A and B are shown apart, each in its own frame.
Chain A
C-alpha cells in the first residue's frame, strides 16, 4: 500500500489543514497505518439497479443522479477489529486513538475507491452517502432493505449509526463528472476547513 497517498488524508482528518507533515506524530501515523492494514477485514457489497427505488425519487438524489436510472447501492466496512482497537487505545493512549481513528477513516476510503475501480470501473461518481447534501441519514433504513448488510458484518442501529464504526453505505453510478461539493452539508455555514479554502474531500 502506498502510504503517502493516505497520509495526506490522515493529516487532514487530524485538523492539519494545509500542513502535511509533523515530525512529532509522523512515526505514529506510520505505525497506525501498518496496524490498520493488519487488523482490517475489508468487505464490500453492492447491488446494481436499472430502475429507481422510491427513495431516489427525492430531489436531492435526483440532483445527484441527473436523470440516470442505472446505479449501484453499496456498503463497505473495515470490520470489527478496528473498532476494538480504537476502544483499546481510548484507554491506553488517547493520542494514538485519535491518530489510529484518522488512519482507519483514510484506509476505508482508499480501499473502497480501489475496490470500485477494480470491480465497477473507474468512471464512477463520488459515493453519495445519505446524510450528505440535504438528505437524511434515516434514508439509510431504506437502502438496507435492498442490501443485506449483515452478510458483511454491518448493523444499522435505530439511530442510523452503523457498527462497526468504520463502515459506509452509499450510492454510486457511472458518471465521473459528478464530484462532491459543499452544497447542502450540515457544516456549510461554519466549516473550519472552508474558512481556509480547504475541503474534507478530494476535489
Chain B
C-alpha cells in the first residue's frame, strides 16, 4: 500500500459526521459513540467498502478539545477497534485542538504539541498512519506533524481547510501550505472540508501545480443549506464525481470526501482506483515563507541586515535585557522599506542565545509576517529557532567543514528549512574563485547525498572581504558568484562588508552591489533603509529583465519629485511639528534645536508644552484621539533623538511605569495608547503585554519598584482578574501607585477593587501622574 501512494490512485473514505446525523445520533459526542454505539460506528466504517484507507472516528480526541467523561485512551482504543473491523489500512484522525494559538489566542505551540504527542503515543502501535485534517492554523498543524514524526515513523497525511478567499482562516495560501508541509516531510498533503469540489477548484489546482509529493482531497458534498435550523448537503454522488474527475488528470493521488459525502460518493470514485497517478514533475524553487507570506528567491531581493547586534550598542542592550519591542519595530521599518527577508541575529556575549533567539523570533513573528533568516553560529539556537518558526525559514549558515554540515543539515532536513552555504572550510577563506566554487559544489553534493537536501534549498555565499585589507579578493567574490550560478543555485552576499574601514561606505556598497547583481547575486544582505541601495536592487531587476515592463519600478518611482533648491520651504518649528504629528520632520528639527538649546529646555519648553496644548485641545473637543496619538508618536521621536545625543545617566529618567492588560484579557489597544502617550512625556514604560499573569505583575513590581502600575481590562469578567492582581500587589506591600482603566471601569469600581486611581483615558492618566510627581 505504501508503495502505491503517489503511484496509483487510492480512495479515502467519506463523511463520518453526516453519516452519524443520518442515524439520528448527532446530539451525542461523536467520540463517545465509539463506546456507547460501537455497532453504528462499525457499520459506517464497513459501508465505505471501496475505500483503501479508513479514517478512525477520533477527530476531536485530544486533551484540549475533548472535555467529556471518558478516558481519552479508552475512547481511542475503542475507535481504533471499530475501524479495524474493515480489515483495511487505518488512519488515526487528528483534528485541531479547537483553541487558537498565540498570539491571537492563549494556547502555546508547546501546549498544542504536547496534546498531539499524547494521543500519538497512545495509539501509534495500533494504527497504520495518521491523518491530520481540517486545520486552519499552519502553526498548529506544524505542532501536530512534529508530534507524529518525533514519536513514531508511521505515515502522516496532512490537510488544511480553505474558504472562498482561497486561504485558510488564518491566511495561509495553498502554496505556503505545500512548501511548509513538504519541508516537514509529510507523506501526503491536501485540503478537506469547508467547501465543495467546485468551490475548491482553484485551491486544488494551485496545490497540484506546486506539490512534489502525493496530493489528496476530501471536499464537502457541496455547500451546506439550512432547513429547520439544521445544515444539510444536497449535492449528489454523480455531481460530486463530475467535479472531482477534472482533477485526476492534474496529478491527484488520493480522493475521499468530507461533510455531506457518503459511501455512494466513494463508490462512484471507484473507477479511478489503482489507475496511474499522473506525474506533474513540478519545478523546485527556493522558497522561504511565514504562515502568510511567501518569498520566492529569484531575481534580486533584499535581506534586511539591521536585526544584528554587531557594532550596535543599543541593539545589544535591548537583546541582553530581553526587550524585544525594539527588534519588532526595527523589523517593521525594514519591511516597510522593502526588505523581502529579515536576517535575525541575537548573538550578544554572555546571554543565553538559544533562549534569546526563540523569544526574539516569537516576538517578531507575532507582529511581522516577513520571512526570517535565522543567523547564528550556535547550532542549538538554530534548531530551536527552526522549531518555533511559523513557516519555512532560511538558516545562516553552513560552510565546507564536515562538522558544521553535520550539525546543521539535520536541522535543515527536519524543519524543511533553506540554508546559506558559506564557501569556506577548515582551511579558511579560499583566495580564488575556483576554490570557492569547489567548496560550493562539495556542500551541495554532501547535502543531497547524505541528507537528501535539494540544491534549491541551498543559497551560496561566495564571501565578501573588505576592500580595505583584501582589495584583490573583491573581484574573486564576483567571479565566484558567476561560477556558482552554473550549479543552478541562488546566491547571497553580506554586501556592506566590502566597505568596512573605508570612508563614504555607501558609495562602495552601491558600486559593489551593482557589480554583484550583474554577476548573479540574488539575495544581498543589506540595509533596506538605505534608499539608494534599494534603488540598486529595483534598478537591477529592471535591467536584468526580472521586473517585466518595469512595473514595480514605475510604481515605486513614478511620483518621486526632485525638489528644486530655488523653491522656498516654509519654516517649520519643532513645536508645530509636534502638534501636527509630523513624524518625518521630528529628527531633523530636534537636531536643529539642539544646536542652540539645552536638551531639558527643548523637552520642557517645546515638547511638553506642545503635548499639553494638544491635550487641552483634545479635552475641549478641538482635537481628537488620532491627533493625540500622532503628536505623542512624534514627540517620542524627538525624545529618542535627544537620548541618542545625550544618553541618560542613572537616576535621570522621569520615572518607571509598569503597564499591562490583566490575566484573561487580550485587548490592548487602550493600553498601547497609554504607553505611547506616557513615553511621549518622557516616562520609561515597561509593558508586560496582555493576558498578564498576576505573578508577572508582582515580579515586575519587585524588579522595578515603579512610580506607577497601570492595569487595563476591557470586560466585566476580567475586572475580577484586575482585583486579584491588586490584592497580590498589596500583599507584597506595593508602594507604587496603582492606576486602573478600561471600557467597563468607573471611579466606583476602581475604588471597590482596591485601586488608588481611575483614569478614563491616556491623557487623564498622564496628567494625573504629572500631578503626582509634583
* Closest A residue, CB atoms, query B333: A92
Give A94 to B333 CA distance when docked, in angstroms.
Answer: 14
- Name which of B481-489, B511-519, B665-673 contacts chain A: B665-673
The 0/1 profile, CB within 8 Å of B marked 1, for residues 79-104 of chain A is: 11101101110111111011101000
A41 close to chain B: CB less than 8 A: yes
**What are the residues of chain A within 8 A of B81 when measuring CB–CB?**
none
Contact B229 A48 (CB under 8 A): yes
Give A141 to B328 CA distance when docked, in angstroms.
Answer: 36
**What are the residues of chain B within 8 A of A84 when measuring CB–CB?**
104, 171, 292, 369
**What are the residues of chain A within 8 A of B278 when measuring CB–CB?**
none
Contact A91 B716 (CB under 8 A): no
A159 close to chain B: CB less than 8 A: yes
Which one of B167, B665, B669 has the highest number of Cβ atoms from chain A below 10 Å of its Cβ? B669
**What are the residues of chain B within 8 A of A137 when measuring CB–CB?**
715-717
* Closest A residue, CB atoms, query B580: A24
- Name which of A12-20, A58-66, A110-118, A171-179 contacts chain B: A12-20
**What are the residues of chain B within 8 A of A83 when measuring CB–CB?**
104
**What are the residues of chain A within 8 A of B329 when measuring CB–CB?**
91-92
**What are the residues of chain B within 8 A of A190 when measuring CB–CB?**
746
Contact B669 A95 (CB under 8 A): no
* Closest B residue, CB atoms, query A24: B627
B170 close to chain A: CB less than 8 A: yes
Residues 113 to 160 of chain A near chain B (Cβ within 8 Å) = 131, 136-138, 150, 153, 155, 157-160
B629 close to chain A: CB less than 8 A: yes
A183 close to chain B: CB less than 8 A: no
A22-B624, A91-B367, A92-B329 known; A153-B664 Cβ under 8 A: no
Please pick, from B171, B333, B581, the residue contacting A80 in the complex, using a CB distance under 8 A.
Answer: B171
Give A41 to B168 CA distance when docked, in angstroms.
Answer: 10
B718 close to chain A: CB less than 8 A: yes
Contact A159 B717 (CB under 8 A): yes
Smallest Cβ distance from B762 to chain A, in angstroms?
Answer: 11
Contact B624 A161 (CB under 8 A): no
Contact A157 B624 (CB under 8 A): no
Give A161 to B743 CA distance when docked, in angstroms.
Answer: 13
Give A186 to B749 CA distance when docked, in angstroms.
Answer: 11
**What are the residues of chain A within 8 A of B367 when measuring CB–CB?**
87-88, 90-91
**What are the residues of chain A within 8 A of B743 when measuring CB–CB?**
187
Number of contacting residues on A, CB 8 A?
50
Give A41 to B744 CA distance when docked, in angstroms.
Answer: 29
Contact B332 A92 (CB under 8 A): yes
Give A138 to B716 CA distance when docked, in angstroms.
Answer: 9
B298 close to chain A: CB less than 8 A: no
Give A86 to B717 CA distance when docked, in angstroms.
Answer: 23
Residues 715 to 748 of chain B near chain A (Cβ within 8 Å) = 715-718, 721, 743-744, 746
Contact A49 B100 (CB under 8 A): no
Contact A94 B633 (CB under 8 A): yes
A182 close to chain B: CB less than 8 A: no
Please pick, from B163, B368, B625, B667, the residue contacting A161 in the complex, using a CB distance under 8 A.
Answer: B667
Residues 83 to 117 of chain B near chain A (Cβ within 8 Å) = 98-100, 103-106
Please pick, from A19, A25, A90, A155, the residue contacting B99 in the complex, using a CB distance under 8 A.
Answer: A155
Contact A157 B666 (CB under 8 A): yes
What 5 additional pairs, Cβ within 8 angstroms, besides A22-B624, A90-B669, A136-B716? A24-B626, A88-B332, A94-B632, A159-B715, A164-B104
On B, residues with C-beta under 8 Å from A are 98-100, 103-106, 136, 163, 165, 167, 169-171, 226, 229, 292, 325, 328-329, 332-333, 336, 366-369, 580-581, 621, 624-627, 629-630, 632-633, 664-669, 672-673, 676, 714-718, 721, 743-744, 746
The 23 sampled A-B contact pairs (Cβ below 8 Å) are A16-B624, A24-B580, A24-B626, A41-B169, A47-B229, A80-B170, A84-B171, A84-B369, A91-B332, A92-B332, A92-B336, A93-B633, A94-B672, A95-B629, A97-B672, A136-B716, A138-B717, A150-B98, A157-B105, A157-B664, A159-B717, A161-B715, A186-B716
